[in-house]
Amino acid sequence: MNDNPCPDVQLELYRRQVEVRVFEKRAYDLFLRNLVKGTSHLSLGQEAIAAGFGTAMRRDDYTFATYRGHAHTLVRGAPMAAVMAELLGRDSGLMGGKGGSMHLTSVEHGVMGSYAIVGAHLPIAVGAAWSAQYRGSGQAAVCFFGDGATNIGAFHEALNLAAVWRLPVVFVCENNLYMEYTPIASVTAVPRPAADRAAGYGLDPLVVDGNDVEAVYGVARAALERARTGGGPSLVEALTYRHGGHSRADPGKYRPAREVEEWLARDPVSGYRERLLRRGIPAKILDDIDTEVRAAVDAATDAAEAAPPPAPERLLSQVWTDGGSSWRN
């Protein structure tokens, strides 16, 4: 018996992870060159979760992400050049430079926003799922958040309401063991910050290896199917680890060396490549994907670096739907 996803899907899972990996490494380089200003939070080491869900989602499904949302935005097909330009604060950025790294949004691709108040987007995802249910559209909302978000009230309000209304929403906790610098275990009453809370909302505790893209893909498909067929919400806890620090140039020194080593050895991207090679997929096919992705990231970087800063008129635009920001006559 063969439970593997079909070959096309395997390559897609691989490509999406590589896209995130190469993009995030580039974003880090650009940060060190002071071209990405402010802050940025990378998904290096956590690529499999966004890639697995992104591949399982329907085109018209909704994504809700956090400030650590480059990956979740890219896997829905948002144009890489515009995402890169947004990180660099350029006019051609996804949001014209007004959102930045933490607020990537591409409604056209179902990315309904990246939110930087921990936990806030869970209730908002509930609302999108409510609307999908009301309209009978068959869409689902997928909401990604960190382990730290399980201790804020919005998490619990959202889970309860989603369960009461049996809404088509999938909550995905990316448990990377740390909040910013503090281990989640040191401030949480239960060992599994998401899964151990599921019973409180009548949900099954779902734990998945977040570094195994096919495992994530499988859980995603099942949860989305359940959502679309009226089965209600799911809460998935995906175990993973960041390769780098929390944000910017954080070296992550608060993490024990052994722990870091162990998780680096479980790298989702190279691990999946090895698995595909073992399955007999020719290295050439994977190398070609790597080359294409690198070329795409290079092109996106060049375009972003060459792009002008936002036009000053943007400053006072789009507070209101009339395009402006006027509050008086």
Ligand X SMILES: Cc1ncc(C[n+]2csc(CCOP(=O)(O)OP(=O)(O)O)c2C)c(N)n1
Sites of contact with other proteins (CB under 8 A): 62, 95-96, 98-99, 103, 105-108, 112-113, 115, 117, 120-132, 134-135, 141, 153-154, 157-158, 160-161, 164, 314, 317-321, 323, 325-329
Q: Which is nearer to other proteins, 28 or 130 (CB)?
A: 130
Enumerate residues 100-159 that contact Mg ion by CB under 5 A.
Answer: 146-147
Q: Please give the C-alpha separations between residue 172 and each of 106, 216, 264, 313, in angstroms, as whole numbers.
A: 20, 10, 22, 38
Strand partners, 115: 66
Q: According to CB under 6 A, which residues from 53 to 112 bind ligand X?
A: 68
Q: How many residues does the chain have?
A: 329
- Angle of helix 283-306 relative to helix 268-278, nearest 10 degrees? 150
In angstroms, give the least distance from the CB of 268 to ligand X. Answer: 15
How many residues bind ligand X, per CB under 6 A?
A: 15
Interface with ligand X includes 259 (CB under 6 A)?
no
Give the Cα separation of 141 and 176 in Å (integer).
Answer: 22
Q: Which is nearer to ligand X, 180 or 259 (CB)?
A: 180
Tokens linked to 36: 């990405």
Output the CA angle 192-212-127, nearest 5 degrees: 60
Task: Determine if 179 is a binding residue for ligand X (CB under 6 A).
Answer: yes
Residue with tokens 């989602």: 57
Edge to edge, what strands does the sheet with 111-115 contain? 111-115, 62-66, 141-146, 169-175, 234-239, 206-209
What letter does residue 162 receive in the DSSP assignment? Answer: H
Question: Is 197 a residue that touches ligand X (CB under 6 A)?
Answer: no
Q: Which of residues 182-221 bind Mg ion (CB under 5 A)?
A: none
Our CB check for Mg ion shows the closer of 19 and 147 to be 147
Provide, rounded to whole angstroms, the least separation between the CB of residue 246 and ligand X.
6
Of all residues in this chain, which one has the CB nearest to ligand X in the complex? 146
Site for ligand X in 270-309 (CB under 6 A): none
Q: Which stretch binds ligand X (CB under 6 A): 24-32, 75-83, 141-149, 305-313?
A: 141-149
Write the CB contacts of 186 (distance below 8 Å, at least 6 apart in sequence): none
Scanning 73-81, 107-115, 173-181, 258-266 for contacts with ligand X by CB under 6 A, the matching segment is: 173-181
Q: How far is the CB of 308 from ligand X (least distance, A)?
A: 30
Rounded CA-CA distance 280/283 in Å is 9
CA contacts within 13 A on the Cβ side of 49: 34
CA proximity to 51, closest of 18, 87, 5? 18
Task: Look at residue 325 and give the partner it binds from Mg ion, other proteins, ligand X, none, a contact being a CB closer than 5 to 8 Å depending on partner kind.
Answer: other proteins
127 binds, among Mg ion, other proteins, ligand X, none (CB under 5 to 8 A by kind): other proteins
Is 5 a residue that touches Mg ion (CB under 5 A)? no
Partner that binds at residue 180, options ligand X, Mg ion, other proteins, none, CB closer than 5 to 8 Å by kind: ligand X
**What region, left, alpha or beta, does residue 76 occupy, with left being phi > 0 and alpha being psi -120 to 50 degrees?**
alpha
Q: Distance between CA 252 and CA 37 in Å, rounded?
A: 20
217 binds ligand X (CB under 6 A): no
Q: Which of residues 165-184 bind Mg ion (CB under 5 A)?
A: 176
Instruction: Return the number of the residue (40 or 211) whose C-beta is nearest other proteins.
Output: 40
Q: Is 115 helix (H, G, I), strand (E, B) or coil?
A: strand
DSSP code of residue 198:
H
Residue 301 binds which entry of Mg ion, other proteins, ligand X, none, CB below 5-8 Å type-dependent: none
DSSP 28-39: HHHHHTTSS-S-
- Point out which residues bind ligand X (CB under 6 A): 68, 116-118, 145-149, 174, 176, 178-180, 246
- Point out which residues bind Mg ion (CB under 5 A): 146-147, 176
